[in-house]
Amino acid sequence: MAAPGGLVMLALAPLVQAPLLMAAAGVGALVLALWAHLTPPEAPGWVRSGYSAFAAPVIVAGTGAAEAGSALDIGSIALVSPTLLVSMTRSRREIVAQIAWAELVYGTYLLATTPRSSALVGVVVSASVLSVVAACIGWLRTLLDRMVTDLQDSARQDPLTGLLNRRGLTAAMEQAGQTHCHVLLLDVDHFKRINDELGHGTGDAALLWLARLLRHQACPQEVIARIGGEEFVLRLPAAADPLARAEAVRAAVAAPSVEGPVAMTVSIGIASGSCHELSALLTAADAALHQAKREGRNRVCRQR
């Protein structure tokens, strides 16, 4: 916001009563805008806040020179520029501090150039404008942050079951505190037959039931994801017994249940290795899963 303001100051400099001061303020605004743009997020707070601290006097000086002492000069509106930046990128405390600093600079300028009553009116009007701007931008920022969070969650979630999808599983594996883990790759046996004979609604209900079962049986530090049509992945910590967990899942699915929408079984492949090599783990688990399919389904096979 300060960059366009600086360009406007430079463009108007020849038309005002103090062109050199106006031009200097414009150049200062452009330099400060560049500073704000190039300052890395990890820089100390006083460095990041330098733009906001110096933008107010620079803008007030330039616009005050242009207006030649008007009590309600365009400085009150020009100060919206740094306030917008702070509202979009800083905490509430920094927003309040920025507005207070801007009003201190602006009020000092008005007291030096106008009667006290006019200065008071100017400060009140300016503070009201900046507060409304900061409140609106803060509300929009909160709304935008919530939307971004929702989009990130939806991008990592399976829309049918609510479990993690492949992207979410990858992120969970990368954030794992352990270097070694176990992966169970589950596949519903003859799922295409369920869809073809009983309909896709029954197939979806079967997947939802299986997702609830996996959640109900989940142990601490266990991650569950759906990565394909009827394929699910369980990531177990290194201390877990993957064979026992897989057998428990297989037996629970195969057992007669009044809650299940349809009788079904699952085949499971197990692989162990580095948590940070998801593709290699899934490839090994997939090979074990295909072995389970070849041996008759409804069984567990482990990576050799």
- Are 211 and 162 contacting, i.e. CB atoms less than 8 angstroms apart? yes
In 3D, which of 160, 299, 166 has the Cα closest to residue 228? 166
Cα–Cα distance, 278 to 262 (Å, whole number): 32
Checking if the pLDDT of 30 tops 70, the result is no
Active site residue: 103, 222, 230, 231, which one? 230
231 tagged catalytic: no
> Would you say residue 69 has pLDDT above 70?
no
β partners of residue 236: 182
48's tokens: 């990041």
CA 56 to each of CA 28, 99, 155, 238: distance values in angstroms, whole numbers, following the listed order: 11, 9, 41, 57
| Residue 48 pLDDT greater than 60, yes or no | no
- pLDDT of res. 50: 56
Residue 127 has pLDDT above 90, yes or no: no
**Residue whose token pair is 């005002």:** 16
Percent of the chain residues past pLDDT 70, beyond the cut: 64
* pLDDT band, residue 114 (cuts 50/70/90): confident
- H-type alpha helices, the chain: 2-12, 19-38, 45-48, 50-67, 75-78, 80-89, 92-113, 116-155, 166-174, 191-198, 200-217, 242-254, 278-294
Pick the most confident of 114-128, 170-184, 243-257: 243-257
Taking alpha carbons only, the member of 265, 269, 297 closest to residue 182 is 269
Going by their DSSP bridges, the two strands 180-188 and 231-237 should be labelled as antiparallel
* pLDDT tens digits, one per residue of 73-100: 444 445 555 555 554 555 667 667 766 7
pLDDT band at 286 (very low <50, low <70, confident <90, very high): very high
- pLDDT value at position 66? 46
Angle, alpha carbons 37-38-43 (nearest 5°): 110
- In this prediction, residue 53 carries a pLDDT of 55
186 DSSP β-pair partners: 232, 268
Task: Give backbone dihedrals phi and psi of 231, rounded to 5 degrees, phi first.
Answer: -105, 130
**131-161: b (≥16 Cβ within 10 Å) or e:** eebbeebbeeeeeeeeeeeeeeeeebbbeeb
**pLDDT in the model for residue 38:** 61
Span 237-276, pLDDT tens digits: 989 999 999 999 999 999 987 678 899 999 999 999 988 8
3-state secondary structure of 262: coil
- What are 141-163's pLDDT values in tens digits? 778 778 877 777 777 889 899 99
Percent with pLDDT over 90 in the chain? 35
Name which of 23-37, 130-144, 174-188, 256-270 the model is least confident about: 23-37
Lowest mean pLDDT among 66-70, 93-97, 187-191: 66-70
